[in-house]
Structures are given as structure tokens and as C-alpha cells.
């Protein structure tokens, strides 16, 4: 029985036929070499048998032998690599979508601000004003009611600019975001809006400090006076429309914002649909 069990065991070949200090009988010498090696193995102490079996079990695993274990390992690596590659592509796609969404948000805010500017400046430049709008205006010495009404019409424009401060604050906050998305050269677009506001403010302060209308024979002063009044009150279709530099700046601001933002919004809408 033991000979059949250990006949094909290779490590048996390392055991000498007649080790030292091992007595063999006539019956043992008549056996085959394999049988004698098994008998020698059984004759060894128990600890020595365990050592021999441990060495054999360690030598049985060939690291270069290709089998199912290596095949499963390779398949697992390929599957893990596939999931990792897909995860990276998904992350890049998600990041790109987030950037596009932020660009669309900035474009929507800028376009809404441009359309809002029309109503804001129409209210600011309105020719209609009441005494309630200049009742807190400081009085000057020897000022007649007619002179106060004339100065009050300019003071009302300044009050309207101050009441719409929140609109201009939003424009200043939106400008750096717009430049980050559409490039640094887009700063010139918002400068049109700021120049229009500054032109109205300077014209109002200058006219407010003037005590009377300049003489018409002084063409330079009179033309400047007409230009400042056109910056404050000019409206489309009026005789002063050709002098309306502020209105042209606002129209350029709206048209340039539309040219930059409208394609972005439409592209994002068609892509999502």
C-alpha cells in the first residue's frame, strides 16, 4: 500500500537506498528500490517525515507553470483595467459637462443683464421728473424756483443712477466671470456699459454746476452743452438722436453680448435636447 502511494513521488529519489545508521534486513534488500525508499521513509522519525513532505509541497508549485490560476489573474487585471479606463473617460466627460454648464450659466446671466440694461437706462434717461426727486437737493444762494427746477432735472438723473446701483454692482461682479469664460478681450464689451454710465454722471454733474445756458455765439461751449444734454435725455427718433453717444454705446453692448452668448446658449440647448 505504501509502495503504491509513494511510487511516483519524486522527492523519494533524494533518500539514499541505505542511509547511515539504518539497518536493513534481507527481506528489505530483496525489495525494489522504490519499496525500500518507502520503508526508509516510514522508518524515519515523525518530524523528519513532516520536513520532507513540506519541502515536497513547496517544490510542487512551479511559478512558471501556466494554468487556470494565471488565466483568471490575467482576466481580472484586464477587467480592472477596463473599468479604470471607463471611469477616467466618465470623469473627463463629467468635468467637460460641468465646464459647459458653467459657461452656459455665465452666458445666460450676461444676456439677461444686457437686456435689462435697456430698461434701466430708459428709466434713468427719462425726461419726466417730479419735484420729489430733487426735494433733498441742497439750495444755492439767490436761487429762483425756475433755476431750482432746471438744476433739479439734472439732480434727478443722479438720484436714478444711485437707485440703480445694484444693477451696476451685478455688472461689475459678472465682468470677471465673463472674461474667464470668453477671454480677456471681452473686457471691452463691459467697458461700453461703464462708459455710458460715466458719461451720464459727468454730464449731470457738469450741467448741475452751470448757472445758465451758454451763449449760442460761443459754438464750442454751446455744442458741448448740447452734447451733454443729449447724453442725458436723448431718445431714439428724436432730433438729438444723432448726438446720442450713450445710446450707441448701449446698443453696441447689447449686440456684442448677443454675438458672444447666443451661440453658446443655443448650442447647449440643442445638445441637451
pLDDT at position 101:
83
* pLDDT value, residue 219: 84
Q: Which residues make Cβ contacts (< 8 Å) with residue 10, sequence separation at least 6?
A: 56
Say how far apart CA 96 and CA 102 lie, in whole Å. Answer: 10
Q: Where are the domains of the chain?
A: 2-60, 100-272
Q: What is the pLDDT along the chain (273 residues), one digit of tens a residue?
A: 444 444 444 444 444 444 444 455 544 455 566 555 555 556 666 656 556 555 444 444 555 555 667 666 777 777 877 767 666 666 566 567 777 888 899 999 999 999 999 999 999 998 888 888 888 888 877 778 888 888 888 999 999 999 999 999 999 999 999 999 999 999 999 999 999 999 999 999 999 888 777 887 888 888 888 888 888 986 655 555 678 899 999 999 999 999 999 998 887 655 555
SS (H, E, C) the chain: CHHHHCCCCHHHHHCCCCCCCCCCCHHHHCCCHHHHHHHHHHHCCHHHHHHHHHHHHHHHCCCCCCCHHHHHHHHHHHHHHHHHHHHHHHHHHHHHHHHHHHHHHHHHHHHHHHHHHHHHHHHHCCCCCCHHHCCCCCCCCCCCHHHHHHHHHHHHHHHHHHHCHHHHHHHHHHHHHHHHHHCHHHHHHHHHHHHHHHHHHHHHHHHHHCCCCCCCCCHHHHHHHHHHHHHHHCCCCCHHHHHCHHHHHHHHHHHHHHHHHHHHHHHHHHHHC
Contacts of 260 (CB under 8 A, 6+ apart): 107, 110, 182, 186, 189
Q: How many CB atoms lie within 10 A of CB 268?
A: 17
Amino acid at each position: 500500500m505504501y509502495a503504491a502511494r509513494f511510487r511516483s513521488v519524486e522527492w523519494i529519489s533524494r533518500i539514499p537506498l541505505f542511509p547511515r545508521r539504518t539497518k536493513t534486513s534481507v527481506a528489505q534488500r530483496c525489495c525494489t528500490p522504490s519499496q525500500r525508499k518507502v520503508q526508509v521513509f516510514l522508518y524515519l522519525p515523525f518530524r523528519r517525515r513532516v520536513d520532507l513532505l513540506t519541502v515536497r509541497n513547496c517544490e510542487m508549485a512551479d511559478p512558471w507553470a501556466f494554468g487556470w490560476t494565471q488565466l483568471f489573474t490575467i482576466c481580472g487585471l484586464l477587467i480592472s483595467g477596463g473599468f479604470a479606463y471607463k471611469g477616467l473617460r466618465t470623469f473627463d466627460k463629467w468635468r467637460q459637462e460641468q465646464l459647459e454648464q458653467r459657461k452656459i450659466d455665465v452666458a445666460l446671466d450676461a444676456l439677461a443683464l444686457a437686456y435689462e440694461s435697456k430698461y434701466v437706462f430708459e428709466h434713468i434717461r427719462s425726461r419726466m421728473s417730479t419735484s420729489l426727486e430733487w426735494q433733498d437737493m441742497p439750495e444755492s444762494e439767490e436761487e429762483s424756483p425756475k433755476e431750482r427746477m432746471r438744476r433739479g432735472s439734472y439732480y434727478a438723473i443722479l438720484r436714478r443712477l444711485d437707485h440703480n446701483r445694484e444693477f451696476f454692482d451685478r455688472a461689475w461682479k459678472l465682468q470677471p466671470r465673463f472674461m474667464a469664460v470668453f477671454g480677456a478681450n471681452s473686457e471691452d464689451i463691459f467697458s461700453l456699459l461703464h462708459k455710458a454710465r460715466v458719461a451720464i454722471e459727468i454730464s449731470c454733474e457738469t450741467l448741475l454746476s452751470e448757472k445758465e445756458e451758454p451763449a449760442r455765439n460761443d459754438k464750442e461751449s454751446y455744442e458741448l452743452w448740447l452734447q451733454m444734454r443729449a447724453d442725458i435725455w436723448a431718445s431714439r427718433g428724436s432730433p438729438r438722436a444723432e448726438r446720442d453717444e450713450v445710446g450707441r454705446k448701449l446698443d453696441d453692448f447689447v449686440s456684442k453680448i448677443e454675438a458672444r452668448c447666443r451661440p453658446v446658449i443655443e448650442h447647449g440647448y440643442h445638445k441637451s435636447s
